[in-house]
């Protein structure tokens, strides 16, 4: 059983925080996140990350097999494509063939309006979290997938159509909330149209509560999205939504949430042991990235 600590598990230095996190990752995380950690901390080659990512691919060019831990089906899913593109972007694998192949697969499952569903019917009959139900409509994942492809510098016909879809959706939103804000900001931080993005970001401002958080309708009791989850990188357009005091307070919160096993936990439903373990590896890696990019490691 893990408990929360008010200081780092073995002290307050960045070195001890990293050592503790490394122990957690080596003992708990998937091979994929462990390889990513080696690139992040040790400047290791990126090829082992690509080797760890490939087993999640399917012959159709998409990704499945619980690469995104909330949908535990073998078939290719949009959320898994988003996770794969995030991995490829993080290690700078912009020219890897998996990037274009993933865009091709997303295009093949896009709806007539060019958006993509949150969950495809191939998930039926397989374990998945309660919010991962197939629906015949385009979803906010379109924002995030388009944002990742922009981040990777991809040129693709689907990306052009998805970008147009994203602008239409974001500029017509009247009361955006929850993960629409999260994924919308991921798109707006990456799309190469800074003036239009800045205006769209400002329209999302009413969704932000005074403490910088966004509530999650339908989530677990008190579930909310925190400033560093909405804007994890400094010097990005989304940072305009937050004051320096809000970011500093959230950095303190993030530091304080490292557990005595060296890892971080997540704040949404812990639905089954494998899902929880896999997400903890992902959010621990994310926490280290955020702290380093803000000079806290």
d(CA 64, CA 15): 35
Percent of the chain scoring above 70 in pLDDT: 96
d(CA 4, CA 264): 9
CA dihedral (183, 247, 224, 81) in degrees, to 10, reads 30
pLDDT in tens, 29-71: 999 999 999 999 999 999 999 999 999 999 999 999 999 999 9
Across 221-245, average pLDDT? 97
CB-CB contact of 85 with 102 (8 Å): yes
* Residues 68-102: b if buried by 16+ CB within 10 A, e if exposed: bbbbbbebbbbbbbbbbbbbbbbbebeebebbbbb
Helix 157-172 and helix 97-109: axis angle, to 10°?
60
Write the CA distances from 99 to 154, 231, 248, 252, 290, integer angstroms. Answer: 8, 24, 35, 35, 24
Across 11-39, average pLDDT? 93
* Residues 156-167: b if buried by 16+ CB within 10 A, e if exposed: bebbebbbebbb
* Burial of 116 per CB tally in 10 Å (0-12, 13-18, 19+): buried
Q: What are the residues facing 214 on neighbouring strands? A: 225
Q: What is the pLDDT of residue 8?
A: 45
Q: What is the pLDDT of residue 53?
A: 98
Nearest in space to 230 (alpha carbons), one of 174, 160, 291, 183: 183
DSSP label at residue 214: E
Q: What is the pLDDT of residue 3?
A: 44
Q: What is the pLDDT of residue 11?
A: 46
Q: What is the pLDDT of residue 7?
A: 43
């Amino acid at each position: 059983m893990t408990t929360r600590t008010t200081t780092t598990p073995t002290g307050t230095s960045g070195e001890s925080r990293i050592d503790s996190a490394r122990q957690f990752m080596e003992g708990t995380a998937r091979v994929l996140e462990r390889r990513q950690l080696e690139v992040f901390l040790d400047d290791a080659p990126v090829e082992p990350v690509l080797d760890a990512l490939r087993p999640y691919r399917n012959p159709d060019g998409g990704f499945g097999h619980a690469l995104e831990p909330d949908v535990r089906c073998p078939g290719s899913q949009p959320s898994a494509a988003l996770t794969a593109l995030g991995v490829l972007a993080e290690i700078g694998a912009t020219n890897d063939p998996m990037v274009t192949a993933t865009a091709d697969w997303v295009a093949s499952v896009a709806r007539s309006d060019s958006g993509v569903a949150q969950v495809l019917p191939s998930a039926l009959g397989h374990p998945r979290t309660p919010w991962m139900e197939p629906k015949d409509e385009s979803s906010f994942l379109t924002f995030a997938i388009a944002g990742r492809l922009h981040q990777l510098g991809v040129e693709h016909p689907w990306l052009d159509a998805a970008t147009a879809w994203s602008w239409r959706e974001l500029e017509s939103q009247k009361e955006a909330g929850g993960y629409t804000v999260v994924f919308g900001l991921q798109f707006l931080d990456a799309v190469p149209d800074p003036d239009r993005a800045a205006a769209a970001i400002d329209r999302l401002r009413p969704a932000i509560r005074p403490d910088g958080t966004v509530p999650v309708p339908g989530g677990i009791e008190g579930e909310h999205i925190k400033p560093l989850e909405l804007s994890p990188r400094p010097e990005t357009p989304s940072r305009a939504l937050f004051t320096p005091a809000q970011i500093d307070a959230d950095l303190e919160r993030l530091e304080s949430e490292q557990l005595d096993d060296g890892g971080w936990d997540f704040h949404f439903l812990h639905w089954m042991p494998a899902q929880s373990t896999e997400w903890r590896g992902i959010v621990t890696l994310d926490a280290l990235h955020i702290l380093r990019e803000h000079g806290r490691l």
